[in-house]
Structure 1
């Protein structure tokens, strides 16, 4: 029996790897006649360590996220998708992308770009895709840049 996905979520951040995941997500949604949920998380963890932050920083990040997501949504529509949901959240990307957003949106497949971090960096900060793999309850596709050398 062939697996058919109904709601595919792709996590985007503007990086090349996320863009590759987006392209595969669009193609998967077209093949499955599925809804495409495009998710972006504004990582506020770094901002919490700044002792004097300005509300304008959050507003600027929100404007940038809105612009980024409008471009992704346009590209998805141009590719022929009609059932598209855009989600922008603030917080910890790992937990939001692994559980919160997929549960809320009833996602059954997540696509993310590979982080490209080396082993030492993974020890320090951890890999979002690895965290999602360990904590999500749905299928996960980690998209790698085949042209990137390790």
Structure 2
């Protein structure tokens, strides 16, 4: 059985992305992994302001797992949904997890940023498309006509 990995950032669009991925999985008779990454960054504080404290990573992971579990519970007819949460850089972790398992297709969303926003923030979806060794379905966050 093939496995579809749906990579979500838990934004307001995640529900639509998950629904699209689950519809595809149903048509392909595939199992699903709901995947998210808790991004760990480096806090840059001024020395005179005191140390920068990182939040409680295990608590953040549990919070993300609970949110993914709530999405999973929205689809009680689908028993083939697994949940996976990792830490690190979202684009690198997404590719690593997709390539290391039985994933045959990756479903990601894109914000569709352009111009300066795109240059400053980059595009995880674009990076994933360029470096993925498996097919990637990209679901646009903004599905309204331009």
CA distance in 1, matches of 2:55, 2:12: 27
More helix by share: 1
Give 1:33's match in structure 2, choosing from 29, 39, 56.
29
Moved over 4 A (4+): none
Unpaired segments ≥5 residues, structure 1: none
Where do 1:42-121 residues align within 5 Å?
42-45=38-41, 48-50=42-44, 52-54=51-53, 56-76=55-75, 78=76, 80-98=77-95, 100-121=96-117
CA distance in 1, matches of 2:78, 2:4: 12
Normalised TM-score (structure 2): 0.84
Please tell me whether Structure 1 or Structure 2 has the larger radius of gyration of its CA atoms.
2
Kindly tell me: are residues 15 and 56 of structure 1, through their superposed partners in 2, closer, same or farther at Cα, counting changes over 3 Å? closer
**What's the RMSD between the two structures over aligned residues?**
2.0
Q: CA deviation at 1:39?
A: 0.2
Normalised TM-score (structure 1): 0.82
